[in-house]
Amino acid sequence: MKRWVKGFLISLSMFSTIPLPKMWEKSALHWVIPTLPLVGLIVGGLWYGVTRVLMSFEISLMLQAAGVFLTPLLLTGGIHLDGYMDVVDATSSRAELKKKQAILMDPHIGAFAAMALGVYLLVGFAVVYSLLEVGVDLLAFVLIPVWSRCLAGVVLLVTKPMKKTGFVATFHEKGASHHVGFLLFLLLLSIGGAYLISGLDWVAPLFAVVVSGTVATLYGIRQLGGISGDVCGFVIIVSELCGLLVLVTI
């Protein structure tokens, strides 16, 4: 089996709840992050499929929206949401850098994380409900997770890791930054697919994903002293929510 395929399967097993046999091969680890957008494509495709199924049932729009909103969280096991909560908890403490990093690594949920979760769930549900209510083309569900993961992958590969050891540092040690070109290629490919599907209508959501994700990245790095898996999760959650917010307004 080719290494990039193994790397993709490792990425899929790490960043989704899709059942797969245990697979861990050191030589394929440098393909885990470059293939992250492909994981996003699978998550997005399943998200769209589940949405179409739920819309075919004669149930209230509120229940449909709840099911649609929860689908990507269930498909990812909440791994990115966990990072979002950890980053908010750490940065909201306004403590010195070392204390923030300690809070980031703390497995317990803090008050700021709980509030951030509430805000995300409330806004996310409201946005999805509005999307279903106005009848927006929901094929964007397929590509928004791809865009967010392309951005998060580039950020992880080109930014100084928070710690010199650990999962994120592994990719820098292996010189995996050359995979940035591959991620940018996937991003351009997905943009081309968006244009073929919906013309220029999806330019605004794509712009929102990229801009909000970049701002979230700069904020996380400035507050926490480098990139980490939690910061990448924060970037994915924020950029996807902003993309959906813009989608509902066009």
Tell me the pLDDT tens digit for each residue of 69-89: 999 999 999 999 999 999 999
Q: What local confidence, expressed as pLDDT, does residue 202 receive? A: 74
Cα angle for residues 183, 188, 45 (degrees, 5° grid) = 80
Local confidence band at 174 (pLDDT 50, 70, 90 cut-offs): low
Hey, is 138 helix, strand or coil?
coil
Residue-range domain boundaries for the chain: 36-247
Q: What is the pLDDT of residues 20-68, one digit of tens each?
A: 877 777 677 778 888 999 999 999 999 999 999 999 888 999 999 999 9
Q: Which residue has the tokens 């179409």?
A: 52
> What count of residues does the chain have?
250
Query: Exposed/middle/buried for 24, CB within 10 Å: 0-12, 13-18, 19+?
Result: exposed
What residues contact residue 139 under an 8 Å CB cut-off, 6+ apart? 48, 197, 198
Question: pTM to 2 decimals?
Answer: 0.92
For residues 91 and 221, give the distance between their C-alpha atoms in angstroms, rounded to a whole number.
Answer: 10
Amino acid at 240: E
Q: What's the rounded mean pLDDT across residues 154-183?
A: 72
